[in-house]
Amino acid sequence: MTITTELSHLHRSVPATVAGRPPILLLHGTGGDENDLLPLGRTVAPGAALLSPRGRVLEGGMPRFFRRLAEGVFDEEDVRRRAHELADFVQDARDAYRLDTPIALGFSNGANIAAAVLQLRPEVLAGAVLLRAMVPLKDVPDANLDGKPVLILSGATDPIVPAENAARLAAILKGAGAIVDHRTLPAGHGLTQADVMITKTWLDQS
């Protein structure tokens, strides 16, 4: 495991122990950090290289990947700036650790920045798993996602992400050419065992 502050984001990098699996870019939720999703990454993609940055925005001391004005109301200029910053980090980390193009695995705020990176810098990601994601940018970028696989897992009783919003995100990504698998689970905003199982199966097949 490598911990370094030399790249733009504080992060953890876990080398692959199995050849041929795409690396996983782990993106935590609000108040999380670079350690949070490592166990999930190991479970859903055993043996894959893991790259786990910490969001550079602080909200009341809690790390996030971009600024928000209120819950579910995003500072879209900051979303764009931070998405490019994260995309640059991924490129630098790929060079530093000799990684293939990663699949993003983001939860909540981490899923939202992953969706923004997909739309603004699609070449940086091989695909994405978006757990409890919502539309990050109302002014939708003109992206070409050209067959990129995307799994979106929403919670039927999620108090943060309205069903309509998650469906709109799926439609936007599909409209840009991604192969989207969107499922709604009997869950709230928190992750369940079903999220873990479905993500593992999807990653095994992609």
Which are the catalytic amino acids?
A: 108, 158, 189
Q: How far apart are the first and last CA of the chain?
A: 25
199 part of the interface to ligand MLT, by CB under 6 A: no
CB 14 to ligand MLT: min, Å = 24
Decide: 79 and 113 in contact? Cβ < 8 Å: yes
Dihedral Cα 166, 10, 68, 91, nearest 10 deg: -60
Residue 191, amino acid: L
Token pair belonging to 38: 């490592």
Scanning residues 30 to 49, which ones bind ligand MLT (CB under 6 A)? 30
CB 127 to ligand MLT: min, Å = 20
Whichever of 47 and 72 has its CB closer to ligand MLT, that residue is 72
68 part of the interface to ligand MLT, by CB under 6 A: yes
Decide: 34 and 86 in contact? Cβ < 8 Å: no
Number of residues that bind ligand MLT (CB under 6 A): 9
Contacting residues toward ligand MLT, per CB under 6 A: 29-30, 68, 71-72, 108-109, 112, 160
